[in-house]
Chain A
Amino acid sequence: MQSDLITNLYVFILAAFIGFEVIRRVSPLLHTPLMSLTNALDAIAVVGAIILAGEHKSTLSTVLGTIAIVAATSNLVGGFIITDRMLKMFKSSRPQKP
């Protein structure tokens, strides 16, 4: 348990550094789609909610898990749709290579 927490802390720190380095390079042009994409990624919390609702350990956990799935799924679906809609609009004036 204790060692798991430490391993997870390493994972968190490394992921945060990767996040900083990768996202720093995102052009300000795309900051709005970036935010809606990371929002959709955040909806990965749905995996926790699915297990919670599916394990059926108590009525409370099933109810809360089910509502949590609804919240996360709507983020996931909506987030991906709008991000792609936004990115489709960004066109260059220079002729694009196929």
Chain B
Amino acid sequence: MTPVIPTDHIIEITYLIATVLFILSLKWMSSPSTARRGVFAAEAGMLLAVIGTLLHHGIVEYKWIAIALVIGSIIGVPLGEVAMTAVPQRTALSHAFGACCVTLVGTAEFYLRTPNVPRLMMGVLALEVILGSLTFTGSLMAAGKLQEILPQRPITYKGANIVNLSVLAMAVLVAGFLVAHPGNKALFPVIIGVPLLFGVLMIIPIGGADMPTVISLLNSYAGLSAAAMGFVLDSKLLIVAGALDGASGLILSINMSKAMNRSFTNVLFGAFGQEHTSAAGAQEARPVHSATAEEAAAILAAANKVVIVPGYGMAVAQAQHKVRELYDALSKRGVDVKFGIHPVAGRMPGHMNVLLAEADIPYDKLLDMDDVNSDFPQTDVALVIGANDVTNPAARTDASSPIFGMPILDVDKARTVMVIKRGMSPGFAGIDNPLYYLDNTLMLFGDAKAFVGAIVRELTGGHS
């Protein structure tokens, strides 16, 4: 007996509903008040799509599917439970997993279909496998650097760009040859192996400060390779999901590049800090004003309006919970405390927001650069914690500075600037920061967590 609705149609309907739910889920991500509904919609869509797929008439063997789903879930749960400080490397790792899946499926499809692969299809398949493989190793490298298994500083050598570009060109050439001769089984591993190598070479010269851009770019590649897989499998659901992911990654990379005043090519082929480190080392010592926790606490207590500017240093020192105590202590005294967050603060887009939200700081106190910059002239104290280059006024004034033109947080316009810093070493990019020598700047030397803790003790100890 044939069912009323053919199974194929049921599958297509589940895919269609899943597609709608995916788009809605991203729409609901626009605001924190609806975002969790977005996750729920995405989960529902995913569940529907997986159930629909399991009904597929071509499936003859469920054993391996079931085993793989269970193993995947077992690996997935701990990856979902990582500490918030480890989110950047977890994200990089998940880009690698996604790319791995796409590459493996593409490879299997090639060997199933060859030599009867239409040329256009072979082109898309090559694109899928090339993007997938380079994203796989690139993301693993990025995760390794973020986890500090690999050195974080950029590693450059003469002619690196030429080497990288020729490696990529080789992959493209071989892919072109395969499009002309899709029956050439022996050549297919080349368009996996060479991009795998390119992924490694691509990330070697990338430093920590460039990670937000690179992670976003890898996000975009992962999405595009999934969309290419959708073309190969003729799955519109996959094409839509891949296009959404690709678009999201692309928007984020453009945002990050803009926030650093750099082009994509500059990020990928630039290796920022290298040439400037020597120049910064030669800088002679200039006088700075420094202050103790007691003095800092007194100034903060007398302020009406305080803006805290967190950077990667806050994450490294795990100071976000102490910062929350400071926020509480000052709020209790009636001080208006807000947070100014630069788009590239931290190691991935939105990194600081997540850390501060984890420390229970209300999200309406977290302002992005454009909103907070107009506030600085009316701000009594700007407190910089572990951020450097994103507050460097040389980006506005000094045309010879390597970061000239980069949009920054105008902390120097506040009445008093306080900078918590371990010492006078230059920031990641190796550029000296004139902010530290201003008359209205007070340097608070010490570990971010310990120093904020000391200020909190001063604020709560004697007076409250």
When the two chains form their complex, are residues B76 and A77 in contact, meaning their CB atoms are under 8 A apart?
Answer: yes
When the two chains form their complex, are residues B25 and A41 in contact, meaning their CB atoms are under 8 A apart?
Answer: yes
Chain B residue total in the interface (Cβ 8 A): 114
B189, CB-defined interface residue at 8 Å: no
Of all chain A residues, the one with the shortest Cβ separation from B11 is A47
When the two chains form their complex, are residues A45 and B72 in contact, meaning their CB atoms are under 8 A apart?
Answer: no
B247, CB-defined interface residue at 8 Å: yes
In the complex with contacts A30-B353, A32-B350, A86-B84, A54-B219 CB distance below 8 A: no
Chain A residues in 8 Å Cβ range of B75? 70, 73-74, 78
When the two chains form their complex, are residues B248 and A34 in contact, meaning their CB atoms are under 8 A apart?
Answer: yes
Contact of A48 among B46, B105, B121, B349 (CB under 8 A): B105
When the two chains form their complex, are residues B357 and A45 in contact, meaning their CB atoms are under 8 A apart?
Answer: no
B interface list, Cβ under 8 A from A = 15, 18, 22-23, 25-27, 29-33, 35-36, 38-39, 42-43, 46, 49-50, 52-54, 56, 58-62, 64-65, 67-69, 71-73, 75-82, 84, 87, 90-91, 94-95, 97-98, 100-102, 104-105, 107-109, 111-112, 118, 120-121, 215-216, 219, 222-223, 226-227, 229-231, 233-249, 251-252, 255, 341, 343, 348-351, 353-354, 357-358, 360, 362-366, 368
Residue pairs across A and B with CB atoms within 8 Å: the count is 375
In the complex with contacts A8-B239, A29-B350, A29-B363, A65-B104 CB distance below 8 A: yes
CB of A83, distance to nearest CB on chain B (Å):
5
In the complex with contacts A48-B229, A72-B72, A56-B238 CB distance below 8 A: no
18 pairs of residues in contact across A and B, judged by CB atoms under 8 Å:
A11-B236, A16-B247, A23-B244, A28-B343, A31-B348, A31-B350, A32-B87, A38-B219, A39-B91, A42-B98, A47-B52, A51-B233, A55-B58, A57-B112, A70-B75, A71-B72, A86-B357, A91-B357
Inter-chain CA distance A89–B43, complex, in Å, is 19
Q: How large is the interface on A (under 10, 10 to 19, 20 to 34, 35 or more residues)?
A: 35 or more
A interface list, Cβ under 8 A from B = 1-2, 4-5, 8-9, 11-12, 15-16, 18-20, 22-58, 60-62, 64-94, 96
